[in-house]
Amino acid sequence: MTIQTSLGRRHFLVSGAAVAGGFSLGFRIPFDEGAAQAAEVKEVNAWVVIHPDDKVVIRIARSEMGQGTLTGLAQLVAEELECDWSKVTTEYPTPGENLRRNRVWRNFSTGGSRGIRESNEYVREGGAVAREMLIAAAAAEWKVPAGECTAADSVVTHTPSGRKLGYGHLAAAAARLDPPKQVKLKDPKDWKLIGKPLKRLDTREKVNGSQIYGIDFRLPNMLVATVKACPVPGGKLKSHDAAKVEKMPGVKKVVAIDGNAVVVVADTYWNAHTALAALPVEWDTGKFGDVQQDAITAMLKEGLDASEAFIGNKAGDAKAAIAGAAKKVEATYAFPWQYHATMEPMNATALYTPEKCEVWCGTQNGEAALAVAAEAAELPVAKCDVYKLMLGGGFGRRGRSDYVRQAVLVAKQMPGTPVKLIWSREEDATHCQYHPTTMCKLTGGLDASGKLVGLQVRISGQSILASLFPQSLQNGKDPATFQGLQPGGPEAAFGYEVPNLLIDHAMRNPHIPAGFWRGVNVNQNAIYVECFMDELAEAAGQDPLAFRLGMLKPKYATVLKAAAEKAGYGKPLPEGHHHGIAQVMGYGSYVAGVAEVSVSDDGTLRMHKITAATDPGYGVNPWLIDRQVAGSFVYGLSAALYGEITVKDGAVEQTNFDSYNVMRIDEMPEVAVALVPSGGFWGGVGEPTIAVAAPAVLNGIYKATGKRVRELPLMNQNLKKGA
Amino acid sequence: MAVLNVNGKSLEANADPRTPLLWVLRDTLGLTGTKYGCGIAQCGACTVLIDGVATRSCQVPLSSVGRKKITTIEGLAQGGTLTKIQQAWVDLDVPQCGYCQSGMIMAVTALLASKPQPTDDDINAAITNICRCGTYKQVREAIHAVAKA
């Protein structure tokens, strides 16, 4: 991975810092190389740069945060470019450059598992256009019709004569040609790279310490800052006594920003951290300063039976059908707030002068970060830019730019001095936009034959849009709340055919901000529906798999069957082991999971194995999908086992991994993946599988213990026999 | 001024003696491969070897280090040749975001030095590092691959 080439001068500064820092130890900032010749190398088009030595640089607009998008998107471009994959590297253009070039790279935002499914067509076109230009350049040199030439492995061949020219030779001439107005994309049956388990392009630097994340970035004369914001959202900074810490070692400045936070700027992080800890601060916690968790729980409970709610999915008359049903089943579930807990805490480096503001950071949304930086700097966007660095995890958290704003506000008070703002883990844990908390009451009516004739799903709780983008609410309704429950569409549609259905949402918004957390609302919606399906199946006297298959639409059913088959569902298991199942559609993909669990008499849960099936339409890289599925299970199961943010006196109580525990390797089940791409559509793979992890395990727990767990996390539940 | 023995070299570190080794490595010596994750020895992102023992450097004050041999992630590969463990990480594409992997690799380096053929239980006991991307499956496979090689 290299940073885009138009910033050669800046990168010489950066590599200068690297030399001062630790070059003698074999430490290297990876993106300094090539800066010298960068100016001479011309791009073929916006997506493709080819060096005279045949090196191919593919520009990637989306952000790499571990999901493998650099590799997957490069595969898509390279497929059409017909280049030698072993010569491919990648680089990020900047959001500022995107704006200057009329958004030639389109959307930078990296979330919602959209990287590949949203951009696959235009990035493939980018590769195809470059290929056609390279062919045209060769044809011109040979003075033959372009139609007599073909391209493969970075070589153009004139078929009648057998003459060959390499891309490195042709690139400069190709760059001078007008791009073709139209290109035809390959038929999927002709793909050579898409669908292949190619290795990641970004691994080596991640095993030798040379990968630079935002927190590692350095500039000459840079200072390091750390921040403490009011622990209660909406609260203010009342007072702070800067004089008490200004003389402490390394401290350069103490500043207040946004009226709600204090920052210590020092020579090193540790000196800034130590001084901030010693800084006397008083907060005005505002109107939420006395809110307790009980009140939030009560607020959500009230919504379960409220008369008014936004309707997300409706068919027939659910209430009447349930009232007239032979059997009625009802259950209430609850899902707490979750913290993203990226391994790398939030950070950004900013350099401000009255003429210019530059920011270096990991971000899932470069263009939003640029807009936020410009606003904080009070400069036109054209005088600002954001240089994206590798993210030490994103999970939705780095789609927000609050940390960018803070870094710029601090840098603005020290013009000409670069400042790296690093949040402590404690600041990160307590100032997140958390996975929303909701509760859900489900009511189902079964007829005498055990068929589900009516289903009512009432969600009560928090809306992400109301918290982050209230302007995007639709007459007050947040459609994202119904992820996985929607009546149709290519994104997250409800998979069951139920003749009488009512899914609605009583919006209840506590003061703790909600945000996008990997998997988003599919996560808890799948828990609610899939656990309740097991409750209904039991009431109907049917096996959970057969009960579901009786109602599931074809693609959903196929994937669930694939998971069940791969897991050996219904076949004998070791003594005490039980299978739980779940399925969902999210992010354009169909997924299912089968968990094999056991619970000992003392209540110890063991998750032995989870089998997933995934239909993403087209699977670009099975090797990476495999890893996304296994990682998704860890993310979902960490939340199910331990994830819980609670509120005391208006503030988040959990501050670090000692109070917000996550899964470790000893709890990791064996994972098997059935990739069953059915073709014809592009679904995401970074998120959907998260949602089936928890309900599959919870359904397995019921079979093992007879206990229905309806409130998470599991650590609060006693699974002990007889308890 | 402390003089540290890091990756076989003597390096001067001008920092308050109470400064955790993690921040001396990162901010004073520029060895940013060792990561900050929690600051309370929970996550293992800051794991380095001190005299061969996997140690969470966020809890080690500079004053306690003396001339003990410190090995960081930057000190594993010799002349650009990766260690067998690093190579297994590359071969199996273990890292996702990669942020925790320096600490993970240091912990595994210590484990395999003392137990070249670890059982799954040995791995569970020794490798308590947090990975939020969820690379645990590949970490376990890579450890076994090194043990078998």
- For A67-120, write each residue's pLDDT tens digit: 999 999 999 999 999 999 999 999 999 999 999 999 999 999 999 999 999 999
- The CA-CA-CA angle for residues A533, A537, A542, to 5°, reads 150
pLDDT in tens, A203-243: 999 999 999 999 999 999 999 999 999 999 999 999 999 99
Using CA coordinates, name the residue in chain B closest to A389.
B97
| C-alpha Rg value of chain B to the nearest Å | 15
- Inter-chain contact A631–B43, Cβ cutoff 8 Å? no
Tokens of A441: 């009451």
Contact partners, residue A65, CB within 8 Å, separation at least 6: A110, A362, A364, A391, A393, A394, A395, A398, B97
Residues of A with CB below 8 A from B20's CB?
A: 270
DSSP percent split of chain B into helix, strand, coil, nearest 5: 40, 15, 45
Domain A41-206, CATH 3.30.365.10 — does that match?
yes
Q: pLDDT by residue (tens digit) across B17-76?
A: 999 999 999 999 999 999 999 999 999 999 999 999 999 999 999 999 999 999 999 999
Q: Which of A14, A15, A25 to mutate to test the interface with B (most CBs of B within 10 A)?
A: A25
Alpha carbons B60 and B64: distance in angstroms, whole number = 7
Same fold, A41-206 and A293-338+434-716: yes
The strand pairing partners of A390, in sequence order, are A213
Residue A207 and residue B82: Cβ atoms within 8 Å?
yes
- The CATH code of the domain at B84-148 is 1.10.150.120
| CATH number assigned to the domain with residue range B2-74, chosen from the 4 options 3.40.50.300, 3.40.50.970, 3.10.20.30, 3.30.565.10 | 3.10.20.30
Q: List the single residue in A270, A633, A662 with the smallest CB-CB distance to B23.
A: A270
Cβ distance of B7 and A395 shorter than 8 Å: no
Strand-pair category, A310-315 with A500-507: antiparallel
Instruction: Assess whether the region B2-74 and the region B84-148 belong to the same CATH fold.
Output: no
If you search the block for the tokens 């919504």, which residue do you land on?
A303
pLDDT band for position A40 (50/70/90)? Answer: low
| Strand order across the beta sheet in which B2-6 lies | B9-13, B2-6, B69-71, B47-50, B53-56
Please indicate whether, in this complex, the C-beta atoms of A218 and B30 are within 8 angstroms of each other: yes
pTM, two decimals, is 0.95
Q: CA-CA distance, B134 to A604, in Å (whole number)?
A: 22
pLDDT per residue as tens digits for the range A345-379 = 999 999 999 999 999 999 999 999 999 999 999 99
Beta-carbon separation of A268 and B28 below 8 A: yes
**Side by side, which strands form the sheet with A347-353?**
A251-257, A261-266, A223-229, A419-422, A347-353, A356-361, A384-388
Smallest Cβ–Cβ distance between B42 and the set A271, A627, A656 belongs to A656
The DSSP symbol for A711 reads B
Nearest to B98 among A206, A340, A422 (CB): A206
Nearest-neighbour CA in chain B from A424: distance (Å): 8
Note whether A627 contacts B39, CB cutoff 8 Å.
no
Radius of gyration, CA atoms only, chain A = 27
Measured CA to CA, the distance from residue B127 to residue B124 in angstroms comes to 6
Is pLDDT above 70 for A325?
Answer: yes
Q: Do A66 and B7 touch (CB under 8 A)?
A: no
What average pLDDT does the segment A447-460 reach? Answer: 98
**Taking 90 as the threshold, does the pLDDT of residue A2 lie above it?**
no
**Using CB atoms, which residue from B30, B86, B96 is nearest to A627?**
B96
At residue A162, does pLDDT exceed 70?
A: yes
- Regarding beta strands A163-166 and A155-158, do their DSSP bridges make them parallel or antiparallel, or are they unpaired? antiparallel
CB-count burial class (<10 Å; 0-12, 13-18, 19+) for A579: buried
- Residue B123, pLDDT above cutoff 60: yes
- May I ask the CATH architecture of the domain A214-286+346-422? 2-Layer Sandwich (3.30)
> Which residues of A fall within a CB distance of 8 Å from B145?
none
The Cα of A26 is separated from the nearest Cα of chain B by a number of Å equal to 7
> Complex ipTM above 0.85?
yes
Handedness of CA A695, A690, A687, A303 (dihedral sign): positive
Distance from CA of A139 to the nearest CA of B (A): 40
Going from the C-alpha of A110 to that of each of A31, A195, A396, A431, the distances in angstroms are 22, 21, 8, 21
Q: Residues of B with CB below 8 A from A67's CB?
A: 96
A293-338+434-716: CATH class: alpha beta
Per-domain residue ranges for chain B?
A: 2-74, 84-148
Whether residue A25 is predicted with pLDDT greater than 80 in this model: the reply is no
Q: Give CA–CA dist A374/A481, Å, rounded.
A: 31
Residue spans of the domains in chain A: they are 41-206, 214-286+346-422, 293-338+434-716
Instruction: With CB atoms and an 8 Å threshold, state whether B137 touches A392.
Output: no
Residues of A in contact with B11 (CB under 8 A): 25
Cβ distance of B90 and A203 shorter than 8 Å: yes
